[in-house]
Amino acid sequence: MSEVKIFSGNNSDYLAEKIAKQYGKKLGDLTLSKFSDGEMSPSFNESIRGSTVFLIQSTNPPSDNILELCLMIDAAKRASAYKVCAVIPYFGYARQDRKDRPRVSIAAKLIANMLTSAGADRIMTCDLHAGQIQGFFDIPLDHLNGSAIFVPYLERLNLKNLIFASPDVGGVARARAYAKRFEVEMVVCDKHRKRANEIASMQVIGDVEGKDVVLVDDLVDTAGTLCKAAELLKEKGATSVRAITTHGVLSGKAYENIENSMLEELVITDTIPLKRPSEKIKVLSVAELFAKAIHAVTGNTSISSLFI
């Protein structure tokens, strides 16, 4: 059995340290230097010959971090690593997973090709924007689920009149899975966009009168959709509205939108570092989840026990 070594890119060292600690190892020694023009150059400062190497890097903001991860994978392969697994807690460009209008890129497929061409033997990620992205890879992909983090948290809240809501039609399956787990009902907030990050209209499909609503989504960017949905749900008679989203992208006026919204709280994970603290934002860690998945992969055991 080959030795396991865990390394981190510049963007995820805060999370990689926690994952390595949960796994029971120290982070490996890796230097990520830059030339004056911004060109990146990763270098392993210890032997990884014959080792199973896990490279942890979320790809947000995506461009530099994706390239940095590809260079790390290439360096590991050229240093004779036995296997290279790219651990991508947040997979950037996942929102571009199909041609929904003429003459656009399917960026998620392009990124999948780049990672495979760089030499990755395996991908490990969490809550992809669309499940079908798994099929874009011709190598094994472990798709972890944020429900393992959120379900215990929601159970501790012990909400009396719990109901789940999807902030858009595309997230119905995600919300339905939570509703089934808690044996409660669900509703849908049907939205129409003018353009990216701008909502033209929204309506609620279902009854939320007197309910404690939990909005479920995979990521929150500008928070416009969640805040609009929370406002509408309160207007329809909801007692409380909170949101659980795995990836806190939180760009633009997201913090301002959330703090001025009708949301009781926004619960996210640490797949992406929080830019600044907020009274309405609670962060749960995925470190233990990923550490257990790495143990399962290296021990050739099933990861199905990690799913709720």
Q: Is 168 annotated as a binding residue?
A: yes
Q: How far is CA 75 from the centre of its chain?
A: 25
Please give the Cα distance from 285 to 287 (Å, whole number).
5
Q: Is 288 annotated as a binding residue?
A: no
Beta strand 198-205 with 186-195: parallel, antiparallel or unpaired?
antiparallel
Q: Is 217 annotated as a binding residue?
A: yes
Q: Is 37 annotated as a binding residue?
A: yes
Please give the Cα distance from 255 to 147 (Å, whole number).
24
Q: Active-site residue among 5, 83, 191, 228?
A: 191
CB contact set of 44 (below 8 Å; sequence gap of 6+)? 7, 28, 29, 30, 75, 76, 79
Q: Is 39 annotated as a binding residue?
A: yes
Q: Residue 234: what are its φ and ψ, rounded to 5°? A: -65, -40
Q: How far is CA 60 from the centre of its chain?
A: 10
CA-closest candidate to residue 56, choices 20, 107, 92, 23: 20
CA-closest candidate to residue 90, choices 258, 274, 214: 274
Q: Is 210 annotated as a binding residue?
A: no
Alpha-helix residue ranges (DSSP H) falling in the chain = 13-23, 62-78, 107-118, 147-157, 172-182, 224-235, 254-259, 287-298
Beta bridge partners of 141: 123
61 prior amide bond cis, ω within 30: yes
Q: Is 38 annotated as a binding residue?
A: yes
Active site residue 191: yes
Q: Is 193 annotated as a binding residue?
A: yes
Please give the Cα distance from 40 to 64 (Å, whole number).
9
Q: Residue 278: what are its φ and ψ, rounded to 5°? A: -145, 140
Q: Is 239 annotated as a binding residue?
A: no
Q: Is 129 annotated as a binding residue?
A: yes
Q: Is 132 annotated as a binding residue?
A: no
Q: Is 103 annotated as a binding residue?
A: no
Q: Is 13 annotated as a binding residue?
A: no
- Residue 282 is classified by DSSP as E
Q: Is 224 annotated as a binding residue?
A: yes
Binding residues for ATP: 37-39, 95-96
Binding residues: 37-39, 95-96, 129, 168, 193, 217, 221-225
Binding residues for D-ribose 5-phosphate: 193, 217, 221-225
Binding residues for Mg(2+): 129, 168
Catalytic positions, please? 191
